[in-house]
Amino acid sequence: MLSLSARIRTDIERRIVSGEWQAGHRIPFEHELTAQYACSRMTVNKALSALASTGLIVRRRKAGSFVAPQPGEQALMEIQDFAEEAARRGLPYHHQILRRQVEKLDTLRARAWNLKRACTVLHVECLHFIDAIPMAYEDRIIVIPMAPGVLDETFAQTPPGTWLLRSVPWTEAEHVLYARSADAALAALLAIPEAAACLVLERRTWYLGKMVTDVRISYPGERHRLVGRFSRTANAT
């Protein structure tokens, strides 16, 4: 049993994550929702304030409330976009697609990718360069039905991670971080000595409980650091 304000909030949330209301879409005014749900303005305000505090919407006096432009990742989630990172540092970025093919995963191989069932996926490998130096090797599968349009995308212009962030909604994610020594193949790709230490980030993303993508990104240990910031001060009002 949800409270009315919680129901209003989840109703709006669902429309946003489903893509029905895209970034920039204007949410009904408080007085409209008041009429729609037959409740007082305070109840609506509580729902919208909660959404604003999570960053899902932004509110402007006189203008209204709008779906926030960025799906708004948090902390360590932000590290994904290499092009953006390079731009911040004023360095040129490019990427290179090493593989892009549809694969049928049998049960065994599916399990290796943390999928429960056999499945048809798009398998992509990609190298990321910042200032012409290889900064990361990305090995990724994308569950095709979860990413409509992915088969029309070559990733020539936009690397797969960036494309997915822009095109596919997600609700849950998991990161796993560990260090390993580069094998010969990885060392060659990243132009580092064999057995050099690498930082490996595995990221799995779901939408409403269904796997969207599973990616393993390997960074040369000496060239990359992941940074996360935390604050315990509440971020309201």
Partner DNA sequence: TAGTGGTCTAGACCACCGC
Partner DNA sequence: CGGTGGTCTAGACCACTAG
Nearest CA to 183 out of 198, 169, 171 is that of: 198
Residue from 39, 71, 94, 167 touching a second copy (CB under 8 A): that is 71
Binding mask 151-180 for a second copy (x = CB under 8 A): -------------------xxxxxxxxxxx
Q: Measured between alpha carbons, how far is residue 159 from residues 85, 88, 153, 199 in Å?
A: 14, 18, 10, 20
- The partner in contact with residue 132, picked from DNA, a second copy, none with C-beta cut-offs of 5 to 8 angstroms by kind, is none
Residue count, binding to DNA (CB under 7 A): 26
Alpha carbons 199 and 178: distance in angstroms, whole number: 6
**Count of positions (residues) in the chain:** 237
Contacts of 188 (CB under 8 A, 6+ apart): none
Q: Is 230 in the site for a second copy (CB under 8 A)?
A: yes
64-67 and 57-60 strand pairing: antiparallel
CA atoms within 13 A on the CB side of 181: 6
- The partner in contact with residue 75, picked from DNA, a second copy, none with C-beta cut-offs of 5 to 8 angstroms by kind, is a second copy
CA 98 to chain centre: 22
Alpha carbons 171 and 169: distance in angstroms, whole number: 7
Measured from the CB atom, the residue of 42 and 151 that comes closer to a second copy is 42
* Contacts to DNA from residues 30-69, by CB under 7 A: 30-31, 38-43, 45-46, 48-49, 52, 59-65
| DSSP conformational letter for 50 | H
Q: Is 215 in the site for a second copy (CB under 8 A)?
A: no
Measured from the CB atom, the residue of 46 and 94 that comes closer to DNA is 46
Measured from the CB atom, the residue of 59 and 223 that comes closer to DNA is 59
Binding site for a second copy (CB under 8 A): 2-3, 5-6, 9, 13, 17, 42, 50-51, 54, 56, 71-72, 74-77, 170-181, 195-200, 219, 221-222, 224-234, 236-237
